[in-house]
Amino acid sequence: MSIPGFVLRNAFRNKRRLALSVSSVAASLFLLVTLQVALRELTNPINDEGSSLRIIVRNKVSLAQPLPARQLQVLERIPGIVAVTPFTFYGGLYKGDEKFTSFAQFAVDPPRTLPLITDAKVPADQLKAWLADRTSCIVGKMTADRYGLKVGDHMRFTGQVYPCNLDLKIAGIYHGTADDRNLFFHHKYLDESLGNPGTVGAWWVRAASVAEAPLVTDRINKAFANSSAEVRAESERAFVLGFVSMWANIKTLIGGISIVVVFALLLVTVSTMSMAIRERFRELAILKAIGFRRRELFAFILAESFGLAMLGAILGAGGAWALFHSLNIQKLTNGLFIMFEVTTRMLGLAFSVAALLALLAALAPMINIARTSVVEGLRTLD
């Protein structure tokens, strides 16, 4: 019998133990990858060209403080700005939802918004209808699918942030943006419903180029410095990262907990695997007695341990990759997670952890077999 054959036979001798060991490695690595993916998604917003090109301008006090609508004239004169629109988070509760609406509604100036949502695909006639009708809106495909909405339907909202309720007619359904959930409607309609307060929630700006975006941000901040409504302009990506920073300790805590989770599972797995090897301690002693060298015994142990760990890694990490790749996570989690992408780095991490695991699991039996004399080993009962 060849040496690899011997190792393989050995591994498959106790099928139940093999299955248990491999599944616990697989379960832990699956969880490790899932946590990594979720953390990355929550703390690292989408970084495409558009999110560095688009700039959000809010009141320096906080996002909840409005800005005067007259700032538009100043903004329009700032060099490097291609497009600017009012951008007000209406924050309405959609009829039928109890407490929480799963999508955002933004009041914008539609003709000014088109350069900002260039990746949104809308049929031309629907777009035209939206521009023409003051009380209409366009809504993302995900939201439309979720509530079973079609063009021509009416959506009724209770204002949670603004003291007005709105009835919006769907003029079009778009798709193709990084987050196909949002709803856009006419800022004029919101203004009228509120009695024309002359304020906006924020401004949405498109810079001429990615290179010029930081300069534009600076120019906007300077333009309103020492005015009655100072602003904070930042790229869309920086804006979203600001939200992430607000989660404060919870973020650190969840990061810490994923480390505990992985550690716990490693502990369990190492013990499981080393048990599989310890079970054959007597056999290893016999092999030693019939002349196998220590080095060869180490090789047997390591080969089996690595085989187990790698099989677990392929099932767990590979399984996570295949699963998240084939599922429509966006739909499944109601848009909480959008990409849910398993990166090569995470797979690398999972496999390195598996290798470490294999080494740790083999360590105790290796030390034991090296230390024990043949006679002692033969006498072992456990």
Partner 1 sequence: MSLPIRYSLRNAIVRWRSTIATVLGIALVVFVFVLLQSLAAGIEKSSGNTGDPRNVLVVRKGATAESASLISRENFRDLQYFSEIARTAGGQPVISADVLVLVNLPRRNHGGEANVLLRGVTPRGMELRPQVHLVAGRWFTPGKREIVVSAKLARRFANFDIGQSFKSGSATLTVVGWLDGGGSAFDSECWLDADECRSIFERDMYSSFLIRPRDNAAATNLIRRIESDPRFKLKAEREVDYYRQQTMTAAPIKWLGDFLAVMMSIGAVFAAMNTMYAAVGARTREIGTLRVLGFRRRAVVTALLIEGGFLAFIGGALGCLLAYHWNGYTTATMGVETFSEIVFQFRVTARLVMEGLLFAVVVGLIGTLLPAVRAARLPVIGALKSV
Closest to partner 1 by CB, 16 or 295: 16
Integer-rounded Cα Rg, in Å, for the chain is: 30
Binding mask 203-232 for partner 1 (x = CB under 8 A): -------------------------x-x-x
Q: Which stretch binds partner 1 (CB under 8 A): 115-123, 146-154, 211-219, 275-283?
A: 275-283
By CB under 8 A, residue 332 contacts partner 1: no
Of residues 2-21, those binding partner 1 (CB under 8 A): 16-17, 20-21
Q: Is 294 helix (H, G, I), strand (E, B) or coil?
A: helix
How deeply is 294 buried, as exposed, middle or buried, from its count of CB atoms within 10 A (0-12, 13-18, 19+)? exposed
For the chain, the distance separating the N- and C-terminal CA atoms, rounded to the nearest angstrom, is: 27
How far is residue 321's CA from residue 326's CA, in Å, rounded to a whole number? 9
Closest to partner 1 by CB, 121 or 319: 319
Closest to partner 1 by CB, 34 or 85: 34
Residues in the chain: 382
Which DSSP string corresponds to 132-158?
H-TTEEEEEHHHHHHHT--TT-EEEEE
Q: Which stretch binds partner 1 (CB under 8 A): 143-151, 247-255, 289-297, 349-357?
A: 247-255
Closest to partner 1 by CB, 21 or 52: 21
By CB under 8 A, residue 279 contacts partner 1: yes
By CB under 8 A, residue 319 contacts partner 1: no
Starting from the edge strand earliest in sequence, which strands make up the sheet with 92-94, in order? Answer: 92-94, 154-159, 166-174, 136-140, 183-186, 105-108, 81-89, 203-207, 54-59, 231-235
The residue ranges that bind partner 1 (CB under 8 A) are: 16-17, 20-21, 23-24, 27-28, 31, 34, 60-65, 91, 93, 99-100, 158-161, 163, 165, 228, 230, 232, 242-243, 245-250, 253-254, 257, 260-261, 263-265, 267-272, 275, 278-279, 381-382
